[in-house]
Amino acid sequence: MAEINKVATEFTTFYYQTFSSNRSSLVNLYRPQSMLTWEGQQILGAEAIAEKLTNLPFQKVEHKITTLDAQPSSTSIASLLVAVTGLLVVDDSPNPLQFSQIFQLIPDGGSYFVFNDVFRLNYG
C-alpha cells in the first residue's frame, strides 16, 4: 500500500500544481475515453475536459489538500482510486471553498492517465 500512496501523492501534487500554473497542459493526463464530472456536468474526452478546465471562471486557484486516500481499483490491472478533500482558494478570496475530488488512474506505459475524475464543491 505504501507504493499506492506514493503514486497518489505524486499524482495529486503534480495535478494541482499544474492546475494552478498551466491548466491547459492537463490535457496530457486524460485520454479520448476519459470522463470528468464537474459539479454534476459530465464531460467526455481529453480535449473537452481541457476546454472545461481552462474556461473556468477564475484566474488564480490554489488547492490545499486536507485528506488523501488511495486504494487499488481493479484486480486485473494496477489501476488506482484516489480520493481528495481540501480547500480551494480562488482569486485570493479570503473565504476558501471546501472541495472533494475522486480520480481513477489507469496505467499507461510507465505512468498513469485519468480515466474518471469527479469534482464537487462541498457546501454546508
Give me the tens of pLDDT residue by residue for the chain, a chain 124 residues long.
Answer: 678 999 999 999 999 999 999 999 999 999 999 999 999 999 999 999 999 999 998 889 999 999 999 999 987 788 999 999 999 999 988 899 999 999 999 999 889 999 999 999 998 7
Rounded distance, CA 69 to CA 59, Å?
A: 28
In the chain, where the domains are located = 2-122
Rounded distance, CA 14 to CA 8, Å?
A: 10
Domain 2-122 falls in which CATH fold? Nuclear Transport Factor 2; Chain: A, (3.10.450)
Strands (E), the chain: 30-38, 41-44, 61-72, 80-90, 97-108, 111-122
Whole-model pTM? 0.94
